[in-house]
A = this chain, B = another copy of it.
């Protein structure tokens, strides 16, 4: 995944953090994940369930989204939930299922790390470490994933400014890990009809200021399954280097986020539409 350079200087009112600053790396960073991510104009699609719920669920979903063109599988083993009474993820059992799946299918896996003490274990079972929105300013965690050599998918906090987002990334780069993917996933506003407000202007802004690749999560950004396709297309038109989307083989039965998960067929259909949008901005789906 890579970011092309925009043409104009930006007056943001803040100092762009040193290591994330595009000026030091005008051609953009390429995060190589296994044999994908040869950079340039390719767009990476990440798909999978909100949470790993069972071997059957993960395998069926992963195989289907792979057939449809996804290149990386997402799936949570440890889930951050607002309430202690909600499903918290399968934990280590979920990790084992993820590892089994990636070995069988050859698909790289991204999964969330919520605690520095889990990094070592998760690193053995996944290819990309996700730092979620609620941990975007968990500085000890940022430092530790910075000491890891694994690529990091860093999600924007739901009430974090672009400046804070770049400073959070800087915490990781500052420890020596430059394999950071920035992810816009919706911010919190006064508007109640969507779960969050997807801030697509963050895409050109982040690409202008930083050399890091930028992806979008339209599933959390909208919270509405039927709205994911239009926002996915808009993300690519806005210049995103990738998408991460929730897909479930039976959204109505999902243990979390079912209302924002695409079905397998919806995802497959969307992929054909995304290819056309990518072509219209001189890019292609990897």
Contact = CB atoms under 8 A, between A and B. Distances in A.
A224 interface: yes
Contacts of A134: 137-139
Interface in A166-216: 167, 170-171, 174, 187-194, 197-201, 203-205, 208
| Range class of the A interface residue count | 35 or more
A226 B10 contact: yes
Interface string A235-259: 1111100000000000000000000
B197 A197 contact: yes
Contacts of A114: 138-140
Contacts of A171: 84
Interface string A270-281: 000100110111
B234 A8 contact: no
Interface string A24-56: 000000000000000000000000000000000
B191 A161 contact: yes
Contacts of A233: 237-238, 281
Interface in A85-120: 85, 114-117
A140 B161 contact: no
A221 interface: yes
A167 B6 CA distance: 36
